[in-house]
Amino acid sequence: MLVEFAEAAVGGDDDRLAQARARLSERLGVKGLVDAAAVVGFFNAIDRVADATGIPLDPERLESTADFRAELGIDGFVEGRV
C-alpha cells in the first residue's frame, strides 16, 4: 500500500494518486497519510539534491533526458571538470 502510494505520488496520474491516498487514509488515518506523504516528499527532494551534486545519472534515464540535457549543456559537466 505504501509502495503504491509512493509510486502514484511521483507518477503523474491524479486518479491513481487519489485512489492510493484514499486507501492509505482508510488504513492508517489522516496522520499516517500525512507521514507517508512527507516521506515521499523528502525522498523526492533528496533524489533531486543527489542529481544536482553530480551523482551519475541512472542508465534508464539517459534516453528520456537526452533532449533537455543537450539543450542545457549538462553533458558538458564531467566529474572533476566544469
Task: Indicate whether 82 belongs to any domain.
Answer: no
Residue 81 belongs to some domain of the structure: no
Residue 78: strand pairing partners: 81
Whole domain around residue 63: which residue ranges?
Answer: 2-76
**3-class SS of residue 69:** helix
pTM of the model: 0.58
Residue 64 lies in a domain: yes
Residue keyed to cell 541512472: 58
- How many domains does the chain contain in total? 1
- Residue 68 inside a domain? The answer is yes
What is the full per-residue pLDDT of the chain (82 aa) written as tens digits? 999 999 999 888 999 999 999 999 999 999 999 999 999 988 878 877 877 777 777 889 889 989 988 888 887 776 554 4
The verdict on residue 42 lying in a domain is yes
Residue 26 lies in a domain: yes
Dihedral pair phi/psi, residue 55, rounded to 5°: -65, 135
Q: Kindly state whether residue 7 falls inside one of the protein's structural domains.
A: yes
Q: How far apart are CA 44 and CA 55, in angstroms?
A: 15
27, part of any domain: yes
